[in-house]
Amino acid sequence: MRFKLLLIGFFFTIPFVSHGLGDSLSTAAHLSDFSLEELMNIPIYSVSKTEESTFDAPLSSTVITREEIKKAGCTSIMEALRLCPGVIVREETNGNYTVDIRGLDDLPPNLGVYFLANSTTLVMIDDRPVYNYLHGGTFWETLPVDLNDVEKIEVVRGPAAAMYGPNAESGVINIITRKPEKKGLYIVANAQYGRYNTGIANASLGYNFKDKFSVIVSGNFQTRERTQSGYYNVASNQFIPIDSFVTNDSLRKARYPNPNLAMRKYGYNALFNYKINKNASISVQAGGQNSQVQDIFANEFLTTALSTSYYANIKARVYGVDLQASYLTGTQTPAAANDNQKWNFNSTDILLDYHITQVKNLDITPGLSYRRSVYDDRKYANVANMEGLFNGRVESYTFAAFLRGDYKLFQDKLRLVAAGRLDKFNAPSKLYFSWQFAATYKLSEKHLLRIVESRANRAPLFLETYYNITIPLGPGLEILGLGNQHLNLLTTDMLEFGYRGKIRENLEVDIEIFGTSTKNFTNVIVGALDSTAAGKNLVFQFQDLPLVARQIGGTISVNYVLGKFQFKPYITIQHTTLFNYSPYAVSPNAPVSPFSPSPATQNINSGMGTQTSNLATPTVYGGAYINFQITSHLNLNFNPYFMSQYTQLDNDNLTYHDGIRGVENVTPKFIMNVMISYTFFKKLTLFANFKNCFSDKTREFYRGDIPGFMVSGGVNFEF
Amino acid sequence: MIKYIPNKNYLLDSWQIKWKIPLQLLMMFFLICSFTLPPDEDNEEYNIKAAFIYRFTNYIDWDSLIPGKEFTIGIIGSSPVKSQLDEIAKTKTVKDKKIIIVQFNKPEDIGPCQILFISQKTSFHLGDILAKVPGKGTLTISEKEGYAKKGAAINFIEVDNKLKFEANPKGISAAGLKASSQLLKLAIIVE
């Protein structure tokens, strides 16, 4: 009740405060007494100028700018995504998050933490994919860049693989890094320290030589402690001390080298830009990162995840031809000191396209793409005993050809965008076609209608394709865990309608309504008994499920500027219905066993014809960016974020079936963040940052830590 | 491994709990939006632009090019600056002359004026507008990137969220006007 009153009270003060500010605005008559110098120093604000304009964009998209991130006091890229409509950001432990565009999480339900988060969002840094091909999604802590590197974050909602490649199925998050725009020296540095020993230090140093050549080197460091001690234990539904579940000293030290640590990471980057002439430019980026976090993986307790990686990214543009080649390589340990959880990996991306412009209002871009990813656990696992996850070097690649067209007609009032992409993977072998048709129609300069129809698929995941383990059960009986190279790729179809309106000079509204249908989910299925000379094998293999998930939903976002006050609320309402869902990961051909007690009636087809709701995605979520530029020096920002009730169902639910264990019932969350900053001489800003002001202590993710109120302070320098 | 299907009652309960809060939040969202709908206040940017236009008159010498007792500011294309200039005209004068604000809808309508403000909303090309500016004595002020280079005497631009202005000395002298060195010092000079 107290929470509700606070919430209501807070929001209702906004209009009055904002109207109050409006009243105090200077009138033209008053300003006409100012000198030219004084007039030149008054800051101005309007909708089109405070936000990167996405008004004409054919897809549902949002741009979060560096300025907004700074004013909102976001402490990481993941946290900054809470400023974006249609994005669900859940904290697992201090600073570690899962990020879902429009849900599509915990599918199929009861499967286990591998798939509790959305695996179908493509994250890129300067168009370079940083997708986690192991089980989909993103290992966010392994991004080499941090907020000091970020110019803006572009988010596209809805399937967009035809434009961005596989995995852009729920959407795309593209992190665009900064370049020194002005000639001369460029310095950005910031440091902050706060509760839970959270320390963040970032710095960039660059130089722009006559707009021809520019260079930046940057580095970032974060350390954060957990908000609590103890580890969640499913059996007792309690947090228990570490030595009660890992009794062996050396094993404990190997698995949990820093039990209080939530995150410690550093990254470094170098960027060279060379503009040869008007029609030719080249940029080269390279860097690396090292990270240690404790978060949730496919194990019973929190795990220590370790990662070291290096990347290079080259982009060249010559007369409408774009070439991008990138390479990422590293070592990944999602669960330290667990036998089968360490491997080397690398991924290569090459993209070539040619932009043919202005053929009677028609822009055409044909292109070719090659993506390859390799995982290799031979160096770390006892391959002879099949103790690794893959027990070998496995690779997945795709050759693709794509074509995009953009056609404007009726004095640019109608715009038609079409894109198609044909992917040929090594496994599965069949061809995949993703497409996108979008049309925008401008009723006037101030009102735009949109429609999008698209299909996108995920890339094959290493876990489901190349999983290869053997677990001895007893004499003459083994479990074989197998991947499957013939699975159908997860595919989403979407139909979306949108409207954007500039209701007034200082008020914009963006509405999108979408319906999606996603099929080809997979799970490890208990299969038939396989007899060999050595004995019997019970085969657990990834297989296609008849499950179909249909989403329907809509997002409304508003951007309102009144003088020095900006109010940007956004809200998404959605619901996911599951068709043909069966909780039984059992083939009808499986033998009767403890894993498959009645395969004839309880199998993957038992849910045919049924409808259930997916409870894992909050029905309503959103937030607001509320900024008061009190004086030209003093800024106050509120950025609340909320999620309605949701229920994550883990595999433990099937083990304990008591509705408690394995069931994370998250009551409505309301997280209020406040940032106060004071700028001296345009370059130096001091700030105080308050996160989760109402100290909402509801756990946000299954087995995660309980979040706490966080206060930090720091300094930001820009030259 | 024992399997479990969440029972119907559980799902139903969750569903009800799920919808109650969302509906409340939705209602609140619309309430907020309705409350915060902006009153009809003019955009601050145009308050400042109007003040700039008025202040420019102190730094430009029209010499003998102001016939009659009125100082006319013309506007082509609709613009919020009009109501702001109207406001200034109520209380201020330029060189002891009454300020008159005139709205022109198309280049052909442009009549004699000492200042012509070219709104960024006008759909006419700058060249067509400048061609219709009558003879000498009119200071053209625009608000679109590149317009000073294309012939407008003064052009507003935005730098770091603040209004600055470009001046085209050739355009100013072609109109038979003289700009003070003080004005040119503050302006970004565009040749």
Is the dihedral angle over the CA atoms B23, B29, B32, B38 positive or is it negative? Answer: negative
CA dist A620 and A625 (Å) reads 17
Give the residue with greater pLDDT, B66 vs A19.
B66
Contact A654, A110 (CB under 8 A): yes
Q: A186 to chain B, minimum CA–CA distance in Å? A: 16
CA dist A565 and A626 (Å) reads 8
For chain B, the domains span 44-189
Quick check: B17 pLDDT over 50? no
Quick check: A568 pLDDT over 80? yes
Could you say which of B5, B85, B186 has the minimum Cβ distance to residue A40?
Answer: B186
State the pairing for strand pair A121-125/A171-177: parallel
| A573 contacts in chain B (CB < 8 Å) | 22, 26
**Given pLDDT bands bounded at 50, 70 and 90, which one contains residue A15?**
very low
- A44 three-class SS: coil
| A413 contacts in chain B (CB < 8 Å) | none
Quick one: average pLDDT of A69-92? 96
Contact A447, A490 (CB under 8 A): no
Q: A631 to chain B, minimum CA–CA distance in Å? A: 14
Domain shared by A558 and A513, yes or no: yes
**Given pLDDT bands bounded at 50, 70 and 90, which one contains residue B37?**
very low
CA dist A563 and A45 (Å) reads 6
Quick one: average pLDDT of B134-161? 87
**Given pLDDT bands bounded at 50, 70 and 90, which one contains residue B26?**
low
**Given pLDDT bands bounded at 50, 70 and 90, which one contains residue A478?**
confident
| B3 contacts in chain A (CB < 8 Å) | 583-584, 597, 602, 654, 657
CA dist A616 and B137 (Å) reads 70
Mutating which of B7, B25, B59 best tests the A interface, going by the most A Cβ atoms within 10 A? B25
Q: How many domains does chain A have?
A: 2
Closest CA to A558 of A545, A571, A547, A574: A571
pLDDT for residue B29: 57
CATH code at position A413: 2.40.170.20
For A592, counting Cβ atoms within 10 Å of its Cβ (0-12 exposed, 13-18 middle, 19+ buried), the class is: exposed
Domain shared by A674 and A553, yes or no: yes
Tokens of A56: 């004409």
Domain shared by A3 and A134, yes or no: no
For B28, counting Cβ atoms within 10 Å of its Cβ (0-12 exposed, 13-18 middle, 19+ buried), the class is: middle
Closest CA to B123 of B144, B141, B102, B138: B144
Domain shared by A34 and A54, yes or no: no
| A595 contacts in chain B (CB < 8 Å) | 1
Domain shared by A300 and A347, yes or no: yes
pLDDT for residue A131: 93
Given the cut 0.90, state whether the ipTM is greater than it: no
A611 forms bridges with which residues in the sheet? A579
For the ranges A553-557, B14-18, B180-184, the maximum mean pLDDT occurs at A553-557
Contact A92, A140 (CB under 8 A): no
CA dist A44 and A393 (Å) reads 58
Tokens of B138: 């009119």
Tokens of B176: 């038979």
Quick check: B105 pLDDT over 70? yes
Which residue range forms the structural domain that includes residue A33? 1-42
pLDDT for residue B1: 24
Query: What mean pLDDT value characterizes chain A?
Result: 89
Quick check: A393 pLDDT over 60? yes
571-600 in A: which are within 8 Å (CB) of B? 571, 573, 583-584, 594-595, 597
Quick check: B148 pLDDT over 50? yes
CA dist A273 and A275 (Å) reads 7
The set of residues, in sequence order, having a beta carbon less than 8 Å from that of B27 and lying 6+ positions away, is none
Round to the nearest angstrom and report the end-to-end CA distance of chain A: 47
Least confident of A13-22, A502-511, B135-144: A13-22
The set of residues, in sequence order, having a beta carbon less than 8 Å from that of A462 and lying 6+ positions away, is A133, A134, A135, A373, A375, A390, A394, A396, A483
Quick one: average pLDDT of A337-357? 90
- A254 three-class SS: helix
CA dist A691 and A707 (Å) reads 10
pLDDT for residue A32: 84
Domain shared by A184 and A240, yes or no: yes
Closest CA to A299 of A421, A389, A164: A389
Phi, psi of A599 (to 5 degrees): -60, -25
pLDDT for residue A26: 56
Q: Which fold has domain B44-189?
A: Rossmann fold (3.40.50)
Reported as a single tens digit per residue, the pLDDT across A440-466 is 999 987 899 999 999 999 999 999 999
Cis peptide before A591 (omega within 30 of 0): no
| B87 contacts in chain A (CB < 8 Å) | 27-29
Contact B186 A657 (CB under 8 A): no
Could you say which of A44, A619, A649 has the minimum Cβ distance to residue B48?
Answer: A44
Is the dihedral angle over the CA atoms A133, A138, A139, A142 positive or is it negative? Answer: positive
| A644 contacts in chain B (CB < 8 Å) | 18, 21-22, 25
**Given pLDDT bands bounded at 50, 70 and 90, which one contains residue A30?**
confident
pLDDT for residue A367: 95
Domain shared by A592 and A713, yes or no: yes
- b vs e for A357-381, b when ≥16 Cβ sit within 10 Å of the residue's Cβ? eeeeeeeebebebebbbbbbbeebb
Element (H, E) at A22: helix A2-23
CA dist B35 and A204 (Å) reads 43
Quick one: average pLDDT of A121-128? 95
Per-residue H/E/C for chain B = CCCCCCCHHHHHHHHHHHHHHHHHHHHHHHHHHHHHCCCCCCCHHHHHHHHHHHHHCCCEECCCCCCCCEEEEEEECCCCHHHHHHHHHHHCEECCEEEEEEEECCHHHCCCCCEEEECCCCCCCHHHHHHHCCCCCCEEEECCCCCCCCCCCEEEEEECCEEEEEECHHHHHHCCCEECHHHHHHCEECC
388-447 in A: which are within 8 Å (CB) of B? none
pLDDT for residue A25: 42
Share of chain B above pLDDT 90, in %: 31
What does the DSSP assignment read for A611-631? EEE--SS-SEEEEEEEEEE-S
Element (H, E) at A96: strand A96-101
pLDDT for residue A520: 95
**Given pLDDT bands bounded at 50, 70 and 90, which one contains residue B23?**
low
CA dist A278 and A224 (Å) reads 45
Instruction: Provide the 8-state DSSP code for A257.
Output: S
Measured N-to-C along each axis, helices B8-36 and A2-23 cross at an angle, to the nearest 10 degrees, of: 20
Q: B122 to chain A, minimum CA–CA distance in Å? A: 12
Contact A19 B32 (CB under 8 A): no
DSSP H helical ranges for A437-524: 462-466
CA dist A671 and A666 (Å) reads 13
Per-residue H/E/C for A532-551 = ECCEEEEEEEEEECCCEEEE
Least confident of A27-41, A281-295, A626-640: A27-41
| A26 contacts in chain B (CB < 8 Å) | 44, 47
Contact B46 A28 (CB under 8 A): yes
Closest CA to B56 of A116, A39, A253: A39
pLDDT for residue B38: 42
- CA angle at B119 for the pair B115 and B124, rounded to the nearest 5°: 105
Could you say which of A32, A40, A594 has the minimum Cβ distance to residue B1?
Answer: A594
Instruction: Provide the 8-state DSSP code for A596.
Output: B
Tell whether A41 lies on the interface with B, counting CB pairs under 8 A.
yes
| A569 contacts in chain B (CB < 8 Å) | 29, 32-33
State the pairing for strand pair A362-376/A491-504: unpaired
Closest CA to A209 of A277, A281, A151, A275: A275
The set of residues, in sequence order, having a beta carbon less than 8 Å from that of A430 and lying 6+ positions away, is none
- Name the residue of chain B whose CA is nearest to A593's CA: B1
Domain shared by A335 and A279, yes or no: yes
CA dist A120 and A101 (Å) reads 8
Tell whether A42 lies on the interface with B, counting CB pairs under 8 A.
yes
- b vs e for A124-140, b when ≥16 Cβ sit within 10 Å of the residue's Cβ? bbbbbbbbbbbbbbbbb
Contact B55 A36 (CB under 8 A): yes
Could you say which of B17, B48, B56 has the minimum Cβ distance to residue A31?
Answer: B48
CA dist B181 and B167 (Å) reads 11
A559 forms bridges with which residues in the sheet? A508
Phi, psi of B59 (to 5 degrees): -110, 0
Give the residue with greater pLDDT, B168 vs B45.
B168
Element (H, E) at A71: helix A66-72
Q: Long-range contacts for B166-173 (Cβ within 8 Å, ≥24 apart)?
A: B166/B190, B171/B140, B172/B60, B172/B139
Cis peptide before A108 (omega within 30 of 0): yes
Distances (CA, A) of B40 to A23, A677, B172: 11, 30, 36
**Given pLDDT bands bounded at 50, 70 and 90, which one contains residue A285?**
very high
Contact A160, A172 (CB under 8 A): yes
| B179 contacts in chain A (CB < 8 Å) | none
Per-residue H/E/C for A137-197 = CCCHHHCCCCHHHEEEEEEEECCCHHHHCCCCCCEEEEEEECCCCCCEEEEEEEEEEECCC
Contact B168, B153 (CB under 8 A): yes
| A19 contacts in chain B (CB < 8 Å) | 39
497-516 in A: which are within 8 Å (CB) of B? 504-507
Domain shared by A553 and A504, yes or no: yes
Contact A278, A268 (CB under 8 A): no
Could you say which of B1, B36, B42 has the minimum Cβ distance to residue A595?
Answer: B1
Reported as a single tens digit per residue, the pLDDT across A650-705 is 888 988 889 999 999 999 999 999 999 999 877 899 999 999 999 999 999 998 99
- b vs e for B96-111, b when ≥16 Cβ sit within 10 Å of the residue's Cβ? ebebbbbebeebeebe
**Given pLDDT bands bounded at 50, 70 and 90, which one contains residue A11?**
very low
Give the residue with greater pLDDT, B175 vs A713.
A713
Q: Which amino acid is located at A118 in the chain?
A: N
